[in-house]
Amino acid sequence: MPVARFDAAGKAAIDEALERGEAVVLPTPSPLAYVVAAKTAAAVNRARGRPRNHPVATWEPRFDRLAPHLALDEMERRRVGWLLAVERVTVLVPQTRDVAAPSWLEPAARYGMAVLFGVAWEPLDWLLERHAPLFVSSANRAGALPAVDLRQAVATFGPEVWVLDGDSLRDRARPHTSTTTLRFVPGRGWELHRRGIQDTLHVNAGRSDYLADVLSRADAALLRQPLPRRQDGRGVRPARRSRASDRDGPSLLARSHRPRPVIT
């Protein structure tokens, strides 16, 4: 059973698997689920049993490498950086058309939009510093829930895929699942594209609209302003849900007059 511990030998095993072009299963910080990552999209999709060209997300925590390829103004770029690094959501954002997309972004892009996963976490700094950008997807098979601990990850992927055991670094008493996905639509602004752990916890706590709240917190942090006394979404466009499956990890197909990317 290919389980790697958080020690020198385990890190070496994960490092070598990535260098060989294989996918690995990695923990992410609570309350996020485990993910599948690799240096190619084909390896991620092979591990999940999907077509090799199925869209995935790009995992690049160095936002300065992403920013030139996003068709956003300066404020929205700063928001995206905060949403990825601090809120740890996944974002679906428009790409620039006048700058050629690098090879590490193309598998995460469809119809002029790119899916970005930007989680930075100290226990994985050594891996991301060496291998990012990676391609990433939820640690599950199609139609199943994402793995939230080592046992589920091993049961899902079997002996073919290395799993890095991060259970001791996570709060297993908390609910876990894949990230919320937010989408920026030119002319409309930010929308809730796919439900995930961040907005679910927000709702379960009986708090106000998640999209309005997260944008208020982003702006307060970026502009160094205090949060408004009421977080009821005034002045912020209400969240709009895409019609999409909420089960299959980070994978959603928004149904509209124009096809949207499927990311899992």
- Regarding predicted confidence, which is higher, 240 or 200? 200
Which tens digits make up the pLDDT trace of 206-253? 888 999 999 999 999 998 755 444 344 444 444 444 444 333 333 332
pLDDT given at position 236: 44
- Give the whole-number percent of the chain exceeding pLDDT 70: 84
Three-state SS letters, the chain: CCEECCCHHHHHHHHHHHHCCCCEEECCCCCECCEEEECCHHHHHHHHCCCCCCCCEEECCCHHHHHHHECCCHHHHHHHHHHHHHHCCEEEEEECCCCCCCCCCHHHEECCEEEEECCCCHHHHHHHHHHCCEEEEECCCCCCCCCCCHHHHHHHHHHHCEEECCHHHCCCCCCCECCCEEEEECCCEEEEEECCHHHHHHHHCCCCCHHHHHHHHHHHHHHCCCCCCCCCCCCCCCCCCCCCCCCCCCCCCCCCCCCCCCCC
pLDDT given at position 61: 92
> Mean per-residue pLDDT for 33-39?
97
- Show the domains of the chain with their CATH numbers: 3-223 (3.90.870.10)
